[in-house]
Amino acid sequence: MSPAIELLVATKNKKKLEEIREILKGLDFKITSLADYQGLPEIVEDGRTFSQNAVIKASTIAQFTKKLVMGEDSGLQVKALRNRPGVYSARYAARNLSENASDEKNNIKLLRELKGVPLKKRDARYQCAVALADEKGAIGVVTGDCAGKIGLKPRGHLGFGYDPLFVIEKYGKTFAELGPAIKHKMSHRYKALKKARRLIEKYFAK
């Protein structure tokens, strides 16, 4: 492969992009993001599932740029909340569901809605869907998940999103405490990107 080959990741989230680059390191191509382009069309994330939103992101940007695009959508499902916040994870505490809320506000709302729920009943699952598309359309969608529990209070300063609350029972620590060295070997995003990596290699091999 050549460094001139490009994979455009349809995100403006710097922390998410950094994580994707870290997990995909070793592949011989350039990884760019929406921040590297101007005049891109608006992405309307109106899918009912993570997979649908991932495809929307990838296809919307691929049609415009004529490049191979990765769309990624992920979020948190909490069993006690009937799998909320789900596809609205980034917008959970927002007044307008078309806009994202800060990680802190989302975490505060989640703790408020789980007030009085004991730790043993705070089962949760991170979900991730990754879609690849080029100008001809969607190429494939892969998924990954990671089970844990929602802690009683935020712990740790690493990671982003709900990581300060997402407890990995095996370690008794949150993703925000464990850090990328461990998270990137077991997270929902790692599992999905590991599958996506094979699709990417196969695509560029052509």
Percent of the chain exceeding pLDDT 70 equals: 97
Q: Check residue 121 and report its DSSP letter.
A: G
Q: What is the average pLDDT value for the chain, to the nearest integer?
A: 93
- Is the pLDDT reported for residue 133 higher than 70? yes
pLDDT, tens digit (0-9, with 9 covering 90-100), for 86-106:
999 999 998 776 678 999 999
Angle at 52 (CA atoms; ends 46, 58), nearest 5 degrees: 95
- Is the pLDDT reported for residue 3 higher than 60? no
Around 37, how many Cα atoms within 13 Å sit in the side-chain half-sphere? 21
pLDDT of residue 4: 60
- Which residue in 19, 20, 91 sits closest to 53, CA to CA? 91
Q: Which residue has the higher pLDDT, 21 or 97?
A: 21
Average pLDDT over residues 134-140: 93
pLDDT of residue 156: 97
pLDDT of residue 2: 46
73 labelled catalytic: yes
1 falls in which pLDDT band (50, 70, 90)?
Answer: very low
pLDDT of residue 98: 67
Rounded CA gap, 22 and 186, in Å? 14
Listed in sequence order, the residues at least 6 apart from 19 whose beta carbon sits closer than 8 Å to its beta carbon are 180, 184, 189
pLDDT of residue 96: 74
Indicate which residue of 36, 73, 103, 145 is catalytic: 73
What are residue 25's phi and psi, to 5 degrees?
-60, 145
CATH number of 6-205: 3.90.950.10
- Is the pLDDT reported for residue 128 higher than 90? yes
Measured in Å, how far apart are the chain's first and last C-alpha atoms?
Answer: 10
pTM: 0.92
pLDDT of residue 100: 86
Q: Which residue has the higher pLDDT, 3 or 69?
A: 69
Chain mean position to CA 198: 18
